[in-house]
Structure 1
Amino acid sequence: MFAITAARIDHDDPLSGLEAGERPDPEPPEGWTTVQVRAAALNRHDLWSLRGVGLPEERLPMVLGCDAAGIDEDGQEVVVHAVIGDPDAGGGDETRDPRRSLLSEVHPGTLAQRVAVPRRNLVPKPAELSFEEAACLPTAWLTAYRMLFARAGLEPGSTVLIQGAGGGVSSALIRMAAAVGHRVYATSRDEGKRDRALQLGAYGAVAPGERLPEKADVVFDSVGEATWGHSLRALRPGGRIVTCGATSGDAPKAELNRMFFLQLSAVGSTMGSRDELRRLAEFCARTGVRPEIDRVLPLDSAREGFAAMERGELFGKIVFQV
């Protein structure tokens, strides 16, 4: 089968390890099945893998990719849940299994014509969603869904700040938060991306670090060290930061005096469960909310998509047709 693989690790030049070509067809073990991939989405996780984060050299070559939608062995249209773990170890939630992994870390990923996954990892694809739209859901959109609906503790009509508009998680948060009636502010260094955030439903968009016209009930932060101070200052007393990543570094100044005096809280969030993925797909089908797709490319043009992500020249998701 044709696939996109990480063949080498290079922290400074990750794309040098990217290869396209033939790989063996997957041979699913007992309890697993295969999916014929119709569309697969790119994530920053794939770039980190090429830098060796979560993917040691002894596992190379590794088929990249976490997200996919396609056809299962019974001919059903499905979305692939990317978390490989034991739900019993996490009280019914694979993301709480300390030994969990994502597709492309231990097991070959989705940037291929076929992918093998546990049968329990398949979620029905609503007919209302295209394969390209459904392929955007399992990582970035699922992460945003859990942050917004399970971890933020928001009431209708709340005010939120979303750091770093333009990425997959941030654009998903803007779409969903606006759709359910929150007043959404977003930040970006790029004026064009701030304009796009407004088009997605944001109430306001500002440069990073700029003071908001009002305090936020919740700040969603996936940037980390570079935005942490601003996130704290943007919160009203009793507010909350929900964080799902630290792409700019994970050692920000804690500002404990501000935290305890204003009774702020910080909550971590990672991915989402299979059931949350099913509900997310239904949410999109019922509400008409759709992922923001930056571009759709054939799988054999994957390098173009990876290069655009590395340069930050995207807004929303890059999707590959298989």
Structure 2
Amino acid sequence: MLAVLAAHVDEQNPLAGLKIGEWPEPVPPPGWTSVELRAAGLNHHDLWTLRGVGVAAEGLPVVLGAEGAGVDEEGNEVIVHAVVGDPAAGGGDETLDPAMGLLSSEYDGTFAERVVVPRRNLVPKPAALSFEEAACLPGAWLTAYRMLFERSGAEPGSTVLVQGAGGGVSTALITLGAAAGHRVWVTGRTEQRRARARELGAERTFAPGTRLPERVDVVLETVGAATWEHSARSVRPGGRIVVCGATTGARVPLDLSRLFYRQVSVVGSTLGTRDQLARLAGLVAGTGLRPLVDRVLPLTRAREGFAAMAAGRLFGKIVLGIRP
């Protein structure tokens, strides 16, 4: 079958390790099943894998892709949850299982014609969603859903700041936050990006680093080093910064006096559970909210999609169409 692989890692030039070619058909072990994929979403996690983050050299090559939707062995349309873990081992949350693994890191991912996963990792795809839209949910949208509705503590009417307009998580945060009744403020590098953020529901937009007219209740941080200082300055006393990623680097200065004196909480958030994915799918189907798809490319043009994501030349999600 055709697949997109991380053949080797290169921290400075991650696309050097990207390979598109034939890969053996996967065979599901006991308790697992196979899914014939129809669409898969690109995610910054895949770039980190190509840089060698979260993957060992002896685990390569590995099929990339942590987001996907397709058809299971019984002909059901399904969404694939990327977290392979035992909920019981994590106190009911498989993302806290010490032995947790992810598709595209410890296990072959969704950038292929077929993938194998534990049976419990399949969530029914709502008929109202296209495969391309559904493929955006297990990564970017699930991350945003958990950040907003579990980790932020924000109540309707709260002011939340989304750092960076344009990526899959940030566009999901804007859409979900506005629908939940939050005052969504967004930073964006260009006026075009800021205008598109307003179209998605942002109340106000700002250039990066702009001093805000007032401090916000919650900062939703996906960027990392480039925006961290602004995030720390922008949250109100007693507020919260929720961090799910660091696309510009993870090492940031931390002013402890600011944290304890202003009683600011910094909370980490990673993906979400299978049950949260099921609830998210129901929410999207029931409300009419839809992931913003920047473009759909065939597997054979995956390198083009990776290059656009690495350069930030996207607004929303890049999706790979796998089968008609």
Greater shift, 37-46 or 48-57, is seen at 48-57
Secondary structure of the corresponding residue to residue 211 of structure 1 = coil
Structure 1 match to 2:308: 308
Structure 1 stretches lacking a partner, 5+ long: none
Q: Shift of residue 72 of structure 1?
A: 0.4
Structure 2 match to 1:208: 208
Structure 2 match to 1:49: 49
Q: Given the alignment of the two structures, is residue 156 of structure 1 paired with residue 151 of structure 2, yes or no?
A: no
- Aligned 1:44-83 pairs, distance under 5 A: 44-83=44-83
Q: Shift of residue 179 of structure 1?
A: 0.9
- Aligned 1:248-267 pairs, distance under 5 A: 248-267=248-267
Q: Shift of residue 258 of structure 1?
A: 2.0
Q: Shift of residue 34 of structure 1?
A: 0.1
Structure 2 match to 1:190: 190
Any conservation in 1 of the 2:296–2:319 contact (CA below 8 Å)? yes
Aligned mates of 2:317, 2:249 — CA distance in 1 = 23
Any conservation in 1 of the 2:44–2:247 contact (CA below 8 Å)? no
Q: Shift of residue 226 of structure 1?
A: 2.2
Q: Could you say if the C-alpha distance between residues 150 and 203 of structure 1 is closer, same or farther in structure 2, counting changes exceeding 3 Å? A: same
Greater shift, 211-220 or 121-130, is seen at 211-220
Matched residue type, 2:245? G
- The CA deviation string for residues 67-111 of structure 1, in whole angstroms up to 9 with x for no partner, is 100000011000000001121110121100122121011111100
Matched residue type, 1:125? K
Secondary structure of the corresponding residue to residue 20 of structure 1 = strand
Matched residue type, 2:182? H
Q: Given the alignment of the two structures, is residue 34 of structure 1 paired with residue 31 of structure 2, yes or no?
A: no
Q: Shift of residue 254 of structure 1?
A: 1.8
Matched residue type, 1:255? D
- The CA deviation string for residues 133-178 of structure 1, in whole angstroms up to 9 with x for no partner, is 0000101110110000001111111111000111111110000001
Aligned mates of 1:175, 1:18 — CA distance in 2 = 32
Q: Shift of residue 214 of structure 1?
A: 2.3
Q: Shift of residue 21 of structure 1?
A: 1.3
Aligned mates of 2:38, 2:129 — CA distance in 1 = 13
Aligned mates of 2:262, 2:228 — CA distance in 1 = 16
- Aligned 1:138-287 pairs, distance under 5 A: 138-287=138-287
Moved over 4 A (4+): none
Structure 2 stretches lacking a partner, 5+ long: none
Matched residue type, 1:160? V
Q: Shift of residue 194 of structure 1?
A: 1.2
Aligned mates of 2:279, 2:203 — CA distance in 1 = 26
Structure 2 match to 1:111: 111
**Aligned length, in residue pairs:** 322
Aligned mates of 2:123, 2:57 — CA distance in 1 = 32
Secondary structure of the corresponding residue to residue 225 of structure 1 = coil
Aligned mates of 2:5, 2:250 — CA distance in 1 = 28
Aligned mates of 2:274, 2:252 — CA distance in 1 = 32
Identity of aligned residues (%): 65
- The CA deviation string for residues 153-211 of structure 1, in whole angstroms up to 9 with x for no partner, is 11111111000111111110000001111111111222221111111110111111101
Aligned mates of 1:160, 1:117 — CA distance in 2 = 36
Greater shift, 106-115 or 244-253, is seen at 244-253
- The CA deviation string for residues 211-265 of structure 1, in whole angstroms up to 9 with x for no partner, is 1122211110112222222112111221111111222233322222222222211
Matched residue type, 1:238? G
Structure 2 match to 1:296: 296
